[in-house]
Structure formats: C-alpha cells, structure tokens
C-alpha cells in the first residue's frame, strides 16, 4: 500500500509541473490534432493529467487501485483528445469528462464481473482444493434448473471465434511494433503476449528493472502512439480493455 501511495505521489509531482493551457491554446492544439499532429495530442493530454486524477479519486474504493483508475482515465482522455473540436466554446476538460468517466466505469464493471461468483461456485472451488467429491449436477442458488456443470466453465475451453479475433488483432499489432522505440516494444510485447507469455506490469517491471508505474507510463504512451497510427477500431478497443 505504501509503495502504491509513493508511486502515485511521484506521478502527481511529475504531472503537476505541466503548464495549464488557455482556451485559445486548446483550440490551436485541436486544429493541429485534426491535421494529424501527434505532438499536439501529447501536449493537450499532458496538460490535463491532473484532471484525470481528480476524476479517478471519485471512484476510489470501487474495486480498482488508484493507479489503474488513473490509467483507464488517461485512455479515456486520449479518446476525447482525438475528437475535440475546440470551436464549440467548450474547454477540453468539460468535453473530456464523459470519456474519462466512461473509461473508468467500464474498467470497474469489468473488474466487478470477476467477483460476481455465486456462493455455490465458491464452495465448489473450495471442495476441489481439499479433494472433496462434488456432484456436477448439484443445483446452484437453490435452482433445480441451474447446475454447477452449467455455471463452472471448463478452464481448458475457449470460444474459437474469440481466439481467432484476438489472434488477428495481435497480428495487426505486431505489424505496428516497428513504429515504437525499443523500450515500448519490449513492454507491449510482454503485456499483450506477442510471441511470449503475457505478463502483468509488475512482472514486466521486474524483468526490465523498472518500477510498475514506469511500465504503465511506457505502455500508455505506446498505446496512444499505436491508436494514432491505426484506423482499426477493433485494435484500439483491444489495446484499451
């Protein structure tokens, strides 16, 4: 917990040095973004990272670590930056807020799905651990129609269409790796399992001698770069999930 607080404090100190933009500067950056200037996206988002943190704090204790909330919020802000017009009179933070909120809430919802497990299924898992025999036809939640056999997925089974689609997206991602610098390639390959086993950010940090937060920053920067390069909306969604 202390390490998480320390890394977040370091991040806040770092982004707190960014210069705030005027409304006119935001409009100029929006124009450059629509002309394909990737540096304008970086400048617009970097100047508003503290706003993402303030929004992420509203979702504290909802099942995700603060660092994860901030990371998801940053992805939402990136999406907003590519759509920001600047001519409507809105400041960027006002325009970006719904995108940031949606990205954070989507991540929380996905995380919460992992914990919505019926008590019967948890009992089944415990029974397996201690070797107690358990009937696969045992009812779940008092329902005679729903059995453990229908609720507990085969851990060795996977949906063939899903695997095929993910494989195609990974192939597309591999084609774009040459557009990244060497450190970004190393992180992306390990995080998304491109030719190697997929690793967590903490595991990648240990392999590369980096702090977890630094790995996250490199991953996020690489994702932003790839999203600017590709028109494949499926790949963008895959990278951001």
Question: Same domain, yes or no, for 171 and 226?
Answer: yes
Long-range CB contacts (< 8 A, 24+ apart) of 98-101? 100/51, 100/52, 100/55, 100/73, 100/76, 101/55, 101/76
* Dihedral pair phi/psi, residue 147, rounded to 5°: -105, 165
Could you tell me which residues come within 8 angstroms of residue 109 by beta carbon, excluding any fewer than 6 positions away?
A: none
Cα 100 to Cα 3, 11, 51, 59, 160, distances in angstroms = 25, 18, 10, 12, 33
Question: Same domain, yes or no, for 174 and 127?
Answer: no
Q: DSSP character for 58?
A: G
Question: Same domain, yes or no, for 129 and 191?
Answer: no
In a domain, 69, yes or no: yes
pLDDT tens sequence across 192-207: 888 888 899 899 999 9
Question: Same domain, yes or no, for 91 and 10?
Answer: yes
In a domain, 212, yes or no: yes
Question: Same domain, yes or no, for 21 and 122?
Answer: no
pLDDT tens sequence across 164-194: 556 777 887 888 888 889 999 999 999 988 8
d(CA 230, CA 240): 13
The tally of domains found in the chain comes to 3
Q: Is residue 36 a contact partner of residue 201, using CB atoms and an 8 Å limit?
A: no
pTM score above 0.75: no
Question: Same domain, yes or no, for 150 and 181?
Answer: no
User: What is the extent of the structural domain holding 80?
Assistant: 2-113
């Amino acid at each position: 917990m202390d390490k998480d607080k320390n890394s977040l404090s370091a991040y806040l100190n770092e982004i707190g040095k960014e210069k705030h933009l005027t409304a006119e500067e935001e409009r100029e950056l929006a124009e450059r973004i629509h002309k394909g200037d990737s540096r304008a996206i970086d400048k617009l988002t970097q100047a508003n990272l503290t706003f993402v943190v303030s929004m992420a704090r509203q979702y504290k204790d909802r099942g995700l670590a603060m660092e994860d909330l901030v990371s998801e919020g940053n992805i939402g802000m990136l999406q907003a930056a590519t759509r920001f017009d600047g001519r409507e009179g809105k400041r960027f933070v006002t325009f970006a807020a719904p995108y940031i909120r949606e990205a954070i809430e989507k991540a929380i919802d996905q995380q919460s799905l992992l914990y919505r497990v019926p008590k019967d299924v948890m009992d089944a898992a415990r029974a397996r651990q201690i070797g107690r025999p358990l009937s696969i036809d045992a009812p779940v939640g008092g329902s005679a129609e729903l059995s453990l056999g229908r609720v507990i997925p085969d851990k060795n089974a996977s949906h063939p269409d899903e695997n095929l689609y993910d494989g195609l997206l990974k192939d597309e991602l591999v084609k774009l790796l040459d557009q990244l610098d060497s450190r970004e390639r190393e992180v992306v390959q390990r995080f998304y399992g491109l030719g190697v086993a997929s690793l967590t950010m903490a595991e990648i940090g240990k392999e590369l001698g980096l702090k977890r937060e630094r790995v996250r920053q490199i991953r996020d920067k690489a994702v932003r770069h790839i999203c600017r390069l590709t028109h494949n909306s499926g790949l963008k969604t895959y990278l951001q999930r």
